[in-house]
Amino acid sequence: MKSYIVGNWKLNFNVGEASIYLHKLQKKIPNYRDVEVVVAPTALCLQPLSLQIERSKMKLAAQNAFYRDFGAYTGEISFAELAGLVNYAIVGHSERRYIFHEDDKMIAKKVAAAIRNKIRPILCIGETESERSFGETRDVIRDQLLGGLSEVSEEDISKVLIAYEPVWAISSTKDAKPATPDEIAEVVGLIRANLKEIYGAKIAEEVPVLFGGSVKPTNAGAYLTVPGVNGLLIGGASLILEQFTDIIETAKRVKQ
């Protein structure tokens, strides 16, 4: 299975800045067949970057989209409009859940819309510090995972990536603290156990599971060697060229 290194640029870089960064990034990294590099710029940057990106080296992802393909939805961008521009889409990120109040029902519709439009969804799940301290991690992970996949058939589950992103470990969160490999391994085990219940053992092992949460060059290697982890979803470090390329190179070394 490939390793996936996904850089979520969030609300950073205008079109010109994104273009310059992508140009520099493409010059620094070779074509790694066993490491899939993905960058997720803002929606405004997707179309111009789609003309610039070397798809043999990396792919584009959307940070968000709307689940309806067309209609009277002022200000929204649909997965249907993104088809052909992006290969991936981040769905259910904690900032979408807790700032924009997206629930599992809406997230499930977005996952289904992405698949319908031949875009691979990266379904983000993860508990808050409060939920973890009250011993609710197992329930939260199950509810968010199965809720987000509620419209995904056995035939389509192979098109989905799961990203475990504990809210308490995200660097932009107040009082964030990095997750330990043991903490990650425990939850990744829960994710695969729940997938096994619904889709069977073979599929449960084949679905890529990524980790995200204060990922840096100094801890990327440890996270990538956690059993069951197939890649990383990176926020702040993906905005710094040297750090992002270091993480990509670490992923390559781990695969070897």
Structure tokens that stand for 72 in this block: 């009277």
Q: Pick the catalytic residue: 36, 93, 95, 102?
A: 93
Amino acid (1-letter code) at residue 159: K
> What domain range includes position 169?
3-255
What does the alpha-carbon distance between residue 92 and residue 104 come to, in Å, rounded to a whole number? Answer: 8
Structure tokens that stand for 52 in this block: 């610039």
Q: Read off the CATH number of the domain in which 80 is found.
A: 3.20.20.70
Full pLDDT tens readout for the chain, 256 residues: 899 999 999 999 999 999 999 999 999 999 998 999 999 999 999 999 999 999 999 999 999 999 999 999 999 999 999 999 999 999 999 999 999 999 999 999 999 999 999 999 999 999 999 999 999 999 999 999 999 999 999 999 999 999 999 998 876 655 667 899 999 999 999 999 999 999 999 999 999 999 999 999 999 999 999 999 999 999 999 999 999 999 999 999 998 8
What does the alpha-carbon distance between residue 7 and residue 192 come to, in Å, rounded to a whole number? Answer: 24
Q: What is the pLDDT of residue 101?
A: 96
CB neighbour list of residue 74: distance below 8 Å, 6 or more residues apart? none
Structure tokens that stand for 51 in this block: 């003309």
Q: What is the pLDDT of residue 174?
A: 59
What does the alpha-carbon distance between residue 242 and residue 250 come to, in Å, rounded to a whole number? Answer: 12
For the question of residue 165 being annotated catalytic, the response is yes
- Count of structural domains, the chain: 1
Neighbours of 21 (CB within 10 A): 23
Q: Pick the catalytic residue: 36, 127, 165, 249?
A: 165
What does the alpha-carbon distance between residue 8 and residue 83 come to, in Å, rounded to a whole number? Answer: 19
CB neighbour list of residue 135: distance below 8 Å, 6 or more residues apart? none
